[in-house]
Amino acid sequence: MRLLFATTNANKVREVRPVLANLPIELLTLQDVSPVEEPEETGRTFWENARLKALFYAAASGETVIAEDSGLVIPALGGAPGVHSARFLGANVPYETRFAEIFRRLAPFGERRPNASFVTAICLARGAEILFEAETAIDGVIASAPAGHNGFGYDPIFYYPPLKKTTGELTIEEKIWVSHRARAFRDFARWYGVTRSPRRHEDTKSKKFRYCV
Ligand code: IMP
């Protein structure tokens, strides 16, 4: 099956591709299809934004599309930056400035490290039909200072207690192991493999098997 992952974020693709590697899926990204203007992410939840993107790109491309929406949720800040993670303080504001502002807002907590979660919602759509949805999260705390140069976005300030590192310090293998995004795509892979196990068709000409959902 051709599957268009509606993203241009190479870091997201790096986390997702290995999770789908053993499935009969040809994974495309937005770089592989004709460019279209991005839809505005007007949803109030990760679910809504994932759905909105999946339906938009499915209509625009004619492909089966999987879209995801993700972000950092800090309950002590009322859930911020949340669905606005990519645009927190402004679309082109450097992450160092965003980290500084988060630390400033968390100053009243002193030494206590406030809880935080990374959340991902994914949505699979073909035409106007939604075929699968999932939402997953990983829990951690906000680090006392940014650490690590791996990953992207808020990784340097998200401390993951089970591995005693920020997600910015994780290797790509570790990130794939723990990441909210990889978890959501593992749910999709399980659903794809079990619930909608692809039908095998023998192509009589080439004697090869084709799979289709
Ligand atoms: P989206 O591309 O609209 O889903 O925005 C997601 C934003 O959330 C990213 O641009 C990052 O700022 C943040 N984010 C999501 N997942 C991660 C992650 O795994 N690590 C660090 N930041 C993340």
Q: What's the pTM value of the predicted model, to 2 decimals?
A: 0.91
pLDDT at 204 (0 to 100): 58
User: How is residue 196 written in tokens?
Assistant: 């909608």
Single-letter amino acid, residue 128: A
Specify whether the backbone of 153 is left (phi greater than 0), alpha (psi in -120 to 50) or beta.
Answer: left
Give Cα separations from 92 to 32, 44, 118, 167 (angstroms). Answer: 25, 21, 21, 22
User: How is residue 189 written in tokens?
Assistant: 């892979």
Tell how far the Cα of 205 is from the centroid of ligand 1, in angstroms.
45
Out of 32, 69, 139, 203, the active site residue is 69
Nearest to 7 by CA among 51, 38, 52: 38
Residue 71 near ligand 1, beta carbon < 6 Å = yes
Q: Which domains does the chain have, with CATH numbers?
A: 2-212 (3.90.950.10)
Residues in the chain: 213
69 as an active site residue: the answer is yes
Task: Give every strand in the sheet of 115-126, ordered side by side.
Answer: 26-29, 2-5, 65-73, 115-126, 129-142, 158-160, 165-166
DSSP 3-state of 5? strand
- The residue to mutate among 135, 152, 166, having the most atoms of ligand 1 within 8 angstroms of its beta carbon, is 152
Tell how far the Cα of 75 is from the centroid of ligand 1, in angstroms.
17
DSSP 3-state of 84? helix
Interatomic CA distance for residues 43 and 69, integer angstroms? 10
Interatomic CA distance for residues 84 and 208, integer angstroms? 46
Q: What does the pLDDT profile of the chain (213 residues) look like in tens digits?
A: 899 999 999 999 999 999 999 899 999 999 999 999 999 999 999 999 999 999 999 999 999 999 999 999 999 999 999 999 999 999 999 999 999 999 999 999 988 899 999 999 999 999 999 999 999 999 999 999 999 999 999 999 999 999 999 999 999 999 999 999 999 999 999 999 876 554 555 555 655 544 444
Beta strands 65-73; 2-5: pairing state: parallel
pLDDT at 210 (0 to 100): 45
Which residues are CB-contacts of 162 (< 8 A; sequence separation ≥ 6)?
178
Beta strands 129-142; 115-126: pairing state: antiparallel
CB 22 within 8 A of CB 185: no
pLDDT at 193 (0 to 100): 83
Residue 189 phi, psi (nearest 5): -60, -40
25-52 confidence digits (pLDDT tens) = 999 999 999 999 999 999 999 999 999 9
